[in-house]
């Protein structure tokens, strides 16, 4: 390779795709449903979130909430009562993701059917191709 057109063999993923860190933070497993629930339904106790996200385990919910609090996307409020009460709410930083989630919801409505059809078409072609082999 010569000249200015040469590309390095390895590139920093963040330079190759500057949104990669955001995707890692926001779209890791369970993060999006937790943020969605807090944005849609407001401040909630742990058990309320657990009821809304029926297939998440308590351990994973605890881990995700701690990570979201660390990332500044969720605020945890401890109330020293008997029994103690802890509430979670989406932070202003987390709320700033609402337009992104709305855009993704619109995209889902408009395009998930097309994705399903593309998968069916692909699988049918793959099956037809494997029969010829």
With respect to residue 1, please indicate whether it lies within any of the assigned structural domains.
no
pLDDT band (50, 70, 90) for residue 132 = low
3-state secondary structure of 107: helix
* Same domain flag for 58 and 21: yes
Q: What is the pLDDT of residues 44-100, one digit of tens each?
A: 999 999 999 999 999 999 999 999 999 999 999 999 999 899 999 999 999 999 898
With respect to residue 106, please indicate whether it lies within any of the assigned structural domains.
yes
With respect to residue 3, please indicate whether it lies within any of the assigned structural domains.
no
With respect to residue 56, please indicate whether it lies within any of the assigned structural domains.
yes
Range of the domain at 130: 97-133
Residue 78, pLDDT score: 95
What are phi and psi for residue 77, nearest 5 degrees? -120, 120
Q: How many domains does the chain have?
A: 2
User: In CATH, what number is assigned to the domain containing residue 62?
Assistant: 1.10.10.10
DSSP class of residue 18 equals: T
Cis peptide before 32 (omega within 30 of 0): no
Q: Angle 50-28-51 (CA atoms, 0-180°, nearest 5)?
A: 10
Determine the straight-line distance between the first and last CA of the chain, rounded to whole angstroms: 39
User: Which own/partner contact pairs does 45-48 have at CB distance under 8 Å and 24+ positions apart?
Assistant: 45/85, 45/86, 45/87, 45/88, 46/86, 46/88
Residue 20, pLDDT score: 86
Q: What is the pLDDT of residues 10-51, one digit of tens each?
A: 566 667 888 888 888 888 889 999 999 999 999 999 999 999
Residue 6 has pLDDT above 70, yes or no: no
- Between CA 44 and CA 87 the distance in angstroms is 5
What are phi and psi for residue 37, nearest 5 degrees? -60, -45
Length of the chain: 133
With respect to residue 2, please indicate whether it lies within any of the assigned structural domains.
no
* Same domain flag for 81 and 103: no
The structure tokens listed for 58 are: 């308590």
- Between CA 85 and CA 97 the distance in angstroms is 27
- Between CA 17 and CA 80 the distance in angstroms is 44
* Same domain flag for 70 and 111: no
Residue 5 has pLDDT above 70, yes or no: no
* Same domain flag for 126 and 66: no
């Amino acid at each position: 390779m010569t000249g200015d057109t040469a590309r390095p063999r390895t590139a920093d993923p963040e330079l190759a795709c500057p949104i990669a860190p955001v995707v890692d933070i926001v779209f890791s497993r369970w993060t999006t449903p937790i943020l969605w629930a807090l944005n849609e339904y407001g401040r909630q106790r742990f058990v309320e979130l657990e009821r809304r996200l029926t297939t998440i385990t308590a351990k994973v919910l605890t881990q995700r909430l701690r990570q979201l609090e660390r990332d500044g996307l969720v605020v945890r409020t401890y109330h020293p009562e008997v029994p103690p009460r802890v509430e979670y709410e989406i932070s202003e930083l987390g709320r700033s993701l609402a337009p992104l989630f709305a855009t993704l919801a619109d995209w889902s409505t408009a395009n998930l059917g097309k994705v399903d059809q593309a998968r069916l078409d692909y699988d049918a072609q793959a099956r037809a191709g494997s029969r010829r082999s």
